[in-house]
Structure 1
Amino acid sequence: MIIYALIALLAGILISNQTPINTDLKNYSGTPLSAGLLSFFVGSIFLALVTFLTTGRLLPGPDFIASQPAWIWLGGFLGAIYLTSNIFLFPKLGALQTVILPIVGQIVMGTMIDSFGLFGARKIPFSLLHSLAILLLFAGLVVAVVLPTFLVKKEKASVQRSGKLIGWQVWGIIIGGLGAMQQAINGRLGVLLANTPQATFISFLTGVILIFIVVMIVDKKLPRLSNLSQAKPWNFLGGILGALFVFATVVAVPKIGTGLSIMMGLIGQIIGGMLVQQFGLWKSKKNPVQFLQVLGAVIMVIAVVLIKIL
């Protein structure tokens, strides 16, 4: 079980680097939506190669498709919304808040999925002690995000700007819930297919289809090759990191449950987000991590350990 928890942790560290990479890719693709499309497209190509080389086929048969509920194919759509939303959020909120705020939605939705056995997940009873551990997790979130924000606000203008960010922060929480649903759905699809690479590829393929449609409606054009040729090779790594993240969750969720998979992934995201913020990785804005942010992250790690033990 420990190995699957570590897989989820590593997946979180990887995915925390995806958003700044895709945010910089936007400078060459033109819009956040087109950057999301490119990221999903690269991830799909990568997964198509892995799936074909390991299993010899990309898609399940028509009988399997017809026999499954419609929601089993929604993982990729939810992932597309999550990814493109993060590209919008990153310049507004910074690396750490973009990572941490979705935690609220993921914790709540992940707990509901495990408690009620939603999306075919293994039902895990929820106790009062679990509730206390989750409250501790939220306390860590407050210490890591809310307190540092209030302490640095010394001017009225910054307070007004903070009010304008509330909508983005709320949306960050909402997409966190969507991300939890995505992991549960993809995990269930992997179990039904008994084929992890294929389930991951299907998730990315449906995401590509959704983002392509949205790009053609909103942007009304695809990115120009002349602009993309100026991008650095690492600008296209976001899709591969996203693919590895989905692959890891498909592996981990059936083994350790949606809730624990999400929480281990969140710890990884916090660690990765701190590294991105501290060192300004991937051309992101360098912003030294504050003591309260580290303290909040430590509290959240303790809470996750307690949730696992209780």
Structure 2
Amino acid sequence: MLIFMTISLVAGFLLSNQSPINADLSRLVKSPFIAGTISFIIGTLFLAILAMSMTGRLFPNGNFIQAQPAWIWLGGLLGSIYLTSNILLFPKIGAIQTTILPIMGQITMGTVTDWLGWFGSDKVAMTAWRLVGILILIVGVLVAVALPSLTNRDIRRFDANVARQDGPTRVIGWQIWAVIVGVLAAMQQAINGHLGTLLHSTSQAAFISFFIGTLLIAAVALMIDKRVPTTRELKTTQPWNWLGGILGGSFLFVTVVAVPQIGAGLTIMMGLIGQIIGSILIQQFGWWRSIKQQMVPAQALGMVLMLIGVGLIKMA
């Protein structure tokens, strides 16, 4: 169990680097949707090579496809919705809520999935210790992510200006959608994990999910931007601007491996801790041309609380 928890943590750390890399790529190609498409295409090619080297095939046969329920193929769709929604949410509800609300959705859905055994996962009893651990983990997330942002005057001012642009009803609608987006992200990981079990191939399941997501996000990019990136734009990129898809593909591959072993809930929680740790380090050192922001005591306290929460969940 500890091995799968550790690789989920490392995968979350790697994924945290994807956002600033794609953000810089988005600046260069002048479109977050085009940047997302490039990232998905690279991730799909990476997973295709991985699947071919491990199994010698990419797609399952027709009999397998017909025998499975329709929801087993939704991983790629949910992943593309998650990516697109994060782009749309930021200017609607601000930086703090765009980060926190999807995380709450992910933790909640991951817990419920394990508890009820949804999406082919094994049932995990909701003991008192497990519940306490989840609550401490949530408090740790809030302390590590929300508290430093609330003390940052620039972030508070940006979020206040965003909130004034829409009426209260529309803001509530976007807030609800942010939580739903987190729920969809947790569903994606559980579905992909079960698909990997059915296929007896984690690499093939990860490729299929990324392939479907690539088709969908490319369609969205073409509808919104109505263009492809120019040669001049692509020449301005650095080699590391192309790493986002590989990092995203690696994260998806690890979740497909880990979910059947430790459950969707614990996989999601360890991944989130890795993402938060990675985000703090990225801000601390200004990696990938991101804005530097010194680590504050609240973030260290939050990480300690998250680890305590996970420890209690593991003990349960």
Task: Give, in whole Å, the separation in 2 of the partners of 1:159 and 1:26.
Answer: 22
Task: Give, in whole Å, the separation in 1 of the partners of 2:129 and 2:217.
Answer: 41
Which residue of structure 1 aligns with residue 36 of structure 2? 36
Structure 2 SS opposite 1:17: helix
Task: Give, in whole Å, the separation in 2 of the partners of 1:28 and 1:159.
Answer: 25
Task: Give, in whole Å, the separation in 2 of the partners of 1:150 and 1:31.
Answer: 29
Indicate yes or no: 2:213 matched with 1:207.
Answer: yes
Which residue of structure 1 aligns with residue 284 of structure 2? 278
* Counterpart AA for 2:127: S
* Counterpart AA for 1:51: A
Larger CA deviation: 128-137 vs 170-179: 170-179
Unaligned regions of 5+ residues in structure 2, if any? Answer: 166-170
Q: 1:234 to 1:246 in 2, by over 3 A?
A: same
Q: 1:296 to 1:89 in 2, by over 3 A?
A: farther
1:263 to 262, 266, 269: 269
Unaligned regions of 5+ residues in structure 1, if any? Answer: none
Q: 1:158 to 1:184 in 2, by over 3 A?
A: closer
* Counterpart AA for 2:73: W
Which residue of structure 2 aligns with residue 131 of structure 1? 131
Task: Give, in whole Å, the separation in 2 of the partners of 1:297 and 1:148.
Answer: 13
Work out whether residues 20 and 90 of structure 1, in 8 Å CA contact, stay in contact via their aligned partners in 2: no
C-alpha RMSD of matched pairs (Å): 2.5
Structure 2 SS opposite 1:124: coil
Task: Give, in whole Å, the separation in 2 of the partners of 1:281 and 1:224.
Answer: 26
Which residue of structure 2 aligns with residue 109 of structure 1? 109
Task: Give, in whole Å, the separation in 2 of the partners of 1:41 and 1:113.
Answer: 30
Aligned residues between the structures:
309
Work out whether residues 12 and 268 of structure 1, in 8 Å CA contact, stay in contact via their aligned partners in 2: yes
TM-score by length of 2: 0.89
Task: Give, in whole Å, the separation in 2 of the partners of 1:290 and 1:12.
Answer: 21
TM-score by length of 1: 0.91
Work out whether residues 145 and 293 of structure 1, in 8 Å CA contact, stay in contact via their aligned partners in 2: yes
Work out whether residues 12 and 265 of structure 1, in 8 Å CA contact, stay in contact via their aligned partners in 2: yes
Task: Give, in whole Å, the separation in 2 of the partners of 1:159 and 1:80.
Answer: 25
Task: Give, in whole Å, the separation in 2 of the partners of 1:145 and 1:122.
Answer: 31
Which residue of structure 2 aligns with residue 233 of structure 1? 239
Work out whether residues 99 and 270 of structure 1, in 8 Å CA contact, stay in contact via their aligned partners in 2: no
Task: Give, in whole Å, the separation in 2 of the partners of 1:147 and 1:21.
Answer: 25
1:188 to 165, 185, 194: 194
Residue 213 of structure 1: how far off its partner (Å): 1.5
Which residue of structure 2 aligns with residue 66 of structure 1? 66
Residue 142 of structure 1: how far off its partner (Å): 2.8
Q: Between the two proteins, what is the percent identity of the paired residues? A: 52
2:204 to 198, 202, 207: 198
Residue 99 of structure 1: how far off its partner (Å): 5.7
Task: Give, in whole Å, the separation in 2 of the partners of 1:64 and 1:155.
Answer: 49
Residue 225 of structure 1: how far off its partner (Å): 2.8
Structure 1 SS opposite 2:243: helix
Residue 156 of structure 1: how far off its partner (Å): 9.0
